[in-house]
């Protein structure tokens, strides 16, 4: 009759050690895959919001006939001047039409647009928002809403200033348009959405969006 030999303590320790190493390697690879997936989605979302916001404003300004804010000189009926935290203007409109301005084509609606970044405390805090007013006989500019109220179109999320003193929009008559300056995402490692990532996800937007209208008219 043969005796069956069991495992020794040393063999069990070695086996458990090897199993632990393999298990930890599998866990590490799985965690890295999950992190890559999170970062990939984050970068894709960040890129998407950046492109959407720039394309939306570029298309809007190409069709605009009036750039109301930022205004070229001093305050312009509520617009602070050449630099502003809002972007507003109109299509199919001129201040030179009639006594107080009017449509270039009376059979077509006037479109007034207004962009702003939702303030803290609003339902759209940190989002780049677009408001629109459209209609036959409408005026320019649209009645400015309280940014973050109503039902605006969200064209970018997690938007912040390039630095604490920077405005979001700056008039650039030399380039025939507006310089847009903001950050999509966050470069701050303390940001809750960056803590588990290998590097913060953010995009710096510093671009000039040009209008197709001629800038020889100082009233528009």
pLDDT digits (tens, 9 = 90+) for 174-193: 777 899 999 998 777 666 66
- Residue 217 within any structural domain of the chain: no
Mean pLDDT of the chain: 82
> For the chain, what is the domain count?
1
Average pLDDT score over residue span 194-215:
76
pLDDT at 19: 73
Average pLDDT score over residue span 196-205:
78
pLDDT tens-digit profile of 140-164? 888 878 999 988 999 999 999 998 8
- Residue 5 within any structural domain of the chain: no
- Residue 67 within any structural domain of the chain: yes
- Residue 66 within any structural domain of the chain: yes
CA distance 78 to 171: 15
- Residue 171 within any structural domain of the chain: yes
- Residue 109 within any structural domain of the chain: yes
pLDDT at 218: 60
Entry pTM? 0.79
SS3 (DSSP) at 159: strand
pLDDT tens-digit profile of 28-58? 676 666 666 666 666 778 888 899 899 999 9
- Residue 220 within any structural domain of the chain: no
CA distance 203 to 59: 21
- Residue 78 within any structural domain of the chain: yes
- In terms of residue numbers, what domain contains 138? 10-210
CA distance 168 to 90: 19
Q: Could you tell me what percent of the chain has a pLDDT over 70?
A: 80
Average pLDDT score over residue span 109-135:
93
Strands 128-135 and 153-156: antiparallel
pLDDT at 160: 92
């Amino acid at each position: 009759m043969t005796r069956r030999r069991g495992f020794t303590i040393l063999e069990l320790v070695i086996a458990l050690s090897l199993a632990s190493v393999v298990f930890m390697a599998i866990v590490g690879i799985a965690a890295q895959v999950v992190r890559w997936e999170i970062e990939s989605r984050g970068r894709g979302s960040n890129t998407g919001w950046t492109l959407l916001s720039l394309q939306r404003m570029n298309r809007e300004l190409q069709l605009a006939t009036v750039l109301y804010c930022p205004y070229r000189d001093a305050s312009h009926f509520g617009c602070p001047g050449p630099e502003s935290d809002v972007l507003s203007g109109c299509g199919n409109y001129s201040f030179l039409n009639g006594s107080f301005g009017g449509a270039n084509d009376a059979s077509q609606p006037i479109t007034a647009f207004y962009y702003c970044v939702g303030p803290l405390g609003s339902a759209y805090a940190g989002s780049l928002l677009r408001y629109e007013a459209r209609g036959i006989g409408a005026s320019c500019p649209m009645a400015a809403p309280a940014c973050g109220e109503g039902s605006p179109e969200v064209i970018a999320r997690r938007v912040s200033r390039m630095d604490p003193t920077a405005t979001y929009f700056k008039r650039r008559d030399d380039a025939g348009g507006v310089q847009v300056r903001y950050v999509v995402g966050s470069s701050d490692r303390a940001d809750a959405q960056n803590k588990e990532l290998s590097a913060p996800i953010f995009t710096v937007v510093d671009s000039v969006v040009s209008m197709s209208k001629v800038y020889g008219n100082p009233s528009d």
